[in-house]
Structure 1
Amino acid sequence: MKSFTDKVAAITGAGSGMGRTLALALARRGCHLALSDVNEVGLGETAALLRDARVKVTTQRVDVADREAIYAWADQVVREHGKANLIFNNAGVGLGATVEGMRLEDFEWLMNINFWGVVHGTRAFLPHLKAAGEGHVVNTSSVFGLIGVPSQSAYNAAKFAVRGFTESLRQELDILRCGVSATSVHPGGIKTNIARAGRVDPSIASLGADPANANLKFEKNFITTAESAAETILRGVEKNKRRVLVGPDAHFIDAMARLLPSLYQRLMVAVARKHI
């Protein structure tokens, strides 16, 4: 997809952070927008920022964990816009917990949004993208879809799954030559509220972390703005990249995972033990 002009993009998690900045960046490129989020207040704020945009903007409250809701939204987008060319499966949540101490309810909550939300969004929109004759599936994984991290087993599981799911999808679409492609996005630390809004289990104290301020401490490592991230992602789509690394930390982590696939784990263990 060399141009976004007069295309229709659907974005989940558009009520804040990267979803919002993707919407603003696409609007500047003349792309019509179908926005969704479980947070109606945030979604309204994003829509207000797009009030003067010369593109059509529709909004809908959607819980991506709800399969029926996301399929209904996909059909609604096509009714309201006439077509759908892009789906950005961007909605996501965070969870800090040990494997042993993590509540099953929290694990399921994260997987339903971060993994199943991507699956539902992809499968719901894919037939519409193919019908449009030109389309792109953009699935947000993470640098934690490249390496494992203590206290992030649930998040790692979801993001590794998104990566594998999207890479398999991309190969199938390449074989079919149907006019639709797919990209797996791996952001590093992006300055959004995902860490602050995430859940923290007391079990991480056993790893040397303070449950009371773990999210704020983690957020201090975020170095890339959401605006910069959006531009990087859209350039990746324009170039039809299979994988998009977002931020200098993402490039460093990707290189570390490739060059030191076993050693990086020992280094992380050493750092964690030092804190303990």
Structure 2
Amino acid sequence: MSKHSDSSVPGRFFSGKVAAITGAGSGIGRALALHLARENCDLALSDINAAGLEESARLARDLGVQVTTAVVDVANRDAVEAWADQTAKDHGKVNMIFNNAGVALGSSVEGTSYENFEWLLNINLWGVIYGTKAFLPHLKKSGDGHVINVSSLFGLVGIPGQSVYNTAKFAVRGFTESLRQEMDIERCNVNVLCVHPGGIKTNINASARMDSSIKSLVGSDSEETRQSFEKLLKTTPDDAADIILKAVRRKSRRVLVGSDAKALDLLQRFFPAFYQRLIVAVLRMRAAKSRRKALASN
């Protein structure tokens, strides 16, 4: 355990607790780890990127907490289950699981191969399911458990070219809301939070898979589309982590991260048909502008 485990210290909700985080090697996962470490929370970190994972662990250990690491592919159920059991053994308990690991893919429905469907869903959906089920018994045993599942702004609105990502993130939302109600019915000491980030400045866009079919939808090729998305990433991982952890403290059911997530959530709630027509109109205009630009350059 960490050196100072007095959880009664005012304002130290996380002090003396143990948090497991997937996708902890960078971005939101690393930011969550460091925020928690500053509040004296011990950590079990996992990522598929060993180098990024070890850097996150080093930074957290420098803050004086116990940190264990595991290179885990969240799409591998056996690996996730083994990590959960080892975490409970190493730390003596587990209070929180942050199912944060994820990947991105830009492609039309027709242009997406079944292999890419399976690749993304195995990580973004099954990874969340595996993480939740593997850690839930340990969270219940702790008497003060928290499941934090990262959905997305794209778990609230459908976007052309994001059908696979939408599929996963809408499913995470439904799965998480259902679990929350089950825990409420059981009067169980496990809180369940669904997180809907908007554009966060992480490397998920840079590492996203892009299919050439995206051009017919958004009017730009894969690299141009990547650059356009990059401009929409306004919220820093640090700010995102701060918002998420405030929601954990409040035992919220869901949290929107970023002004873009809040705006589009309102738009789809009050104008569920209009927002779709609006997106189609904007993308058609972009595609037409791109075609005119291409003709002018020839």
TM-score, with structure 1 as normaliser: 0.98
Give the one of 228, 231, 244 matched to 1:220.
231
Segments of 5+ residues of structure 2 without an aligned counterpart are 1-6, 288-298
Residue deviations 1:149-168, cap 9 Å, x none?
Answer: 00000000000000000000
The separation in 2 between residues aligned to 1:121 and 1:154, in whole angstroms, is: 20
The separation in 2 between residues aligned to 1:202 and 1:228, in whole angstroms, is: 33
1:249 paired to 2:241: no
Structural mapping, 1:117-128, within 5 Å: 117-128=127-138
1:270 paired to 2:281: yes
Structural mapping, 1:70-89, within 5 Å: 70-89=80-99
Residue deviations 1:93-150, cap 9 Å, x none?
Answer: 0000000111111111000000000000000000000011110000000000000000
Give the one of 30, 51, 59 matched to 1:41.
51
The separation in 2 between residues aligned to 1:4 and 1:212, in whole angstroms, is: 41
Amino acid of the structure 1 residue aligned with 2:80: I
The separation in 2 between residues aligned to 1:41 and 1:217, in whole angstroms, is: 28
How many residues are treated as equivalent by the alignment?
A: 276
1:11 paired to 2:21: yes
Amino acid of the structure 1 residue aligned with 2:189: G
The separation in 2 between residues aligned to 1:53 and 1:144, in whole angstroms, is: 34
Structural mapping, 1:1-276, within 5 Å: 3-207=13-217, 208-276=219-287
The separation in 1 between residues aligned to 2:51 and 2:115, in whole angstroms, is: 26
The separation in 1 between residues aligned to 2:224 and 2:122, in whole angstroms, is: 26
Amino acid of the structure 2 residue aligned with 1:27: A
Q: Secondary structure at the match of 1:59?
A: strand
TM-score, with structure 2 as normaliser: 0.91
Amino acid of the structure 1 residue aligned with 2:272: P
Amino acid of the structure 2 residue aligned with 1:245: L
Amino acid of the structure 2 residue aligned with 1:69: A
Amino acid of the structure 1 residue aligned with 2:225: A
Shift of 1:72: 0.2
Amino acid of the structure 2 residue aligned with 1:246: V
| CA root-mean-square deviation | 1.1
Shift of 1:45: 1.1
Amino acid of the structure 1 residue aligned with 2:280: V
The separation in 2 between residues aligned to 1:74 and 1:224, in whole angstroms, is: 30
Segments of 5+ residues of structure 1 without an aligned counterpart are none
Amino acid of the structure 1 residue aligned with 2:255: V
Shift of 1:213: 2.7
Identity of aligned residues (%): 61
Residue deviations 1:50-70, cap 9 Å, x none?
Answer: 232221001100000000000
